[in-house]
Structure 1
Amino acid sequence: MTAARAIIHVDMDAFYAAIEALDHPQWRGLPLIVGELGPRSVVTTASYEARRYGVRSAMPTMTAKKLCPHALFVPVRMGRYRELSAEVFAVFGEATPEIEGLSLDEAFLDVTRSLRLFGGDVENIGRFLKQEILRRTGLVASVGMAHNKLLAKLGSELSKPDGFLHIRPEQVHAMLDPLPVGRLWTVGKVAEAQLHRLGIRTVGELRFSDSRRLRQACGNQAEHWQRLARGIDERTVDADSAEKSVSAETTFVTDLTRLDQAESWLARLGERVGERLRAHELRGRTVTVKLRKPPFETHTRQLSLGQPTDSTAELLQAGRALLRRWWESEENPRLRLLGIGMSQFAPELQSGLFAPAAGGKDQLADRINRRFGGGSLVRGVVLKSRRGQTEEK
Structure 2
Amino acid sequence: MRKIVHIDMDCFYAAIEERENPSLKGKPVGVGGSSRRGVLTTANYEARKYGCRSAMPVFKALELCPQLILVRTRFDLYRTVSAQVRAIFGRFTDKIEPLSLDEAYLDLSHLNTSAAALAREIRTQIKEETGGLTASAGIAPNKMIAKIASDWRKPDGQFEVKPEEVDAFMKALPVRRIWGVGGKMAGKLESIGIRTCGELQQFDKIEMARRFGRWGLELWELCRGIDIREVRTERIRKSLSTENTFRENLHSLADLRPVMHPMIEEVAADLVRHEDRQIRSLVLKMKFADFTRTTAERAHTWVDKEIFEELLAEAWQRSEGRGVRLLGVGVRFRDPEDHRQMELL
Mapping of residues 154-303 of structure 1, within 5 Å: 154-240=148-234, 244-245=239-240, 273=268, 276=271, 279-288=274-283, 301-303=296-298
Sequence identity (%): 38
Whether the 8 Å CA contact 1:246–1:276 is kept in 2: the answer is no
Structure 1 counterpart of 2:129? 136
- Aligned-residue offset at 1:351: 6.4
Three-state SS of the structure 2 residue aligned to 1:89 is helix
Mapping of residues 1-393 of structure 1, within 5 Å: 4-113=1-110, 115-116=111-112, 120-137=113-130, 138-240=132-234, 244-245=239-240, 273=268, 276=271, 279-288=274-283, 301-304=296-299, 312=302, 341-347=330-336, 348-350=338-340
Three-state SS of the structure 1 residue aligned to 2:122 is helix
- Aligned-residue offset at 1:226: 2.2
Q: Which moved more, 1:236-245 or 1:83-92?
A: 236-245
Whether the 8 Å CA contact 1:288–1:319 is kept in 2: the answer is no
Whether the 8 Å CA contact 1:176–1:229 is kept in 2: the answer is yes
Question: In structure 1, how many angstroms separate the alpha carbons of the residues matched to 2:269 and 2:134?
Answer: 33
What's the TM-score, normalizing by structure 2?
Answer: 0.76
Question: In structure 2, how many angstroms separate the alpha carbons of the residues matched to 1:111 and 1:275?
Answer: 27
Q: Deviations over 1:314-341 (max 9, x none)?
A: x77x959x78x98xx9xxxxxxxxx985
Specify whether residues 43 and 96 from structure 1 end up closer, same or farther in structure 2 by C-alpha distance, changes over 3 A only.
Answer: same
Question: In structure 2, how many angstroms separate the alpha carbons of the residues matched to 1:226 and 1:159?
Answer: 27
Structure 1 counterpart of 2:248? none
Question: In structure 1, how many angstroms separate the alpha carbons of the residues matched to 2:285 and 2:168?
Answer: 44
Whether the 8 Å CA contact 2:149–2:160 is kept in 1: the answer is yes
Question: In structure 2, how many angstroms separate the alpha carbons of the residues matched to 1:354 and 1:153?
Answer: 46
- Aligned-residue offset at 1:187: 2.5
- Aligned-residue offset at 1:229: 1.5
Whether the 8 Å CA contact 1:181–1:203 is kept in 2: the answer is yes
Q: Deviations over 1:85-107 (max 9, x none)?
A: 00011111111101110000000
Q: Which moved more, 1:28-37 or 1:146-155?
A: 28-37
Aligned length: 302
Question: In structure 2, how many angstroms separate the alpha carbons of the residues matched to 1:14 and 1:130?
Answer: 15
Equivalent residue letter for 1:303 = R
Unaligned runs of 5+ in 2: 243-252, 254-260, 287-293, 318-327
Question: In structure 2, how many angstroms separate the alpha carbons of the residues matched to 1:319 and 1:36?
Answer: 21
Question: In structure 2, how many angstroms separate the alpha carbons of the residues matched to 1:340 and 1:222?
Answer: 27
Q: Deviations over 1:135-169 (max 9, x none)?
A: 11021000110110111111111111112111112
Question: In structure 2, how many angstroms separate the alpha carbons of the residues matched to 1:32 and 1:63?
Answer: 14
Whether the 8 Å CA contact 2:277–2:333 is kept in 1: the answer is no
Three-state SS of the structure 2 residue aligned to 1:303 is strand
Structure 2 counterpart of 1:335? none
Q: Deviations over 1:211-267 (max 9, x none)?
A: 4433311123323212221211111111118773258xxxxxxx9xxxxxxxxxx9x
Question: In structure 1, how many angstroms separate the alpha carbons of the residues matched to 2:16 and 2:51?
Answer: 21
Equivalent residue letter for 1:229 = C
Specify whether residues 31 and 87 from structure 1 end up closer, same or farther in structure 2 by C-alpha distance, changes over 3 A only.
Answer: same
Unaligned runs of 5+ in 1: 248-254, 256-265, 292-298, 306-310, 330-338, 356-393
Equivalent residue letter for 2:280 = R
Specify whether residues 24 and 203 from structure 1 end up closer, same or farther in structure 2 by C-alpha distance, changes over 3 A only.
Answer: same
Whether the 8 Å CA contact 2:238–2:333 is kept in 1: the answer is no
Question: In structure 1, how many angstroms separate the alpha carbons of the residues matched to 2:273 and 2:158?
Answer: 38
Three-state SS of the structure 1 residue aligned to 2:339 is coil
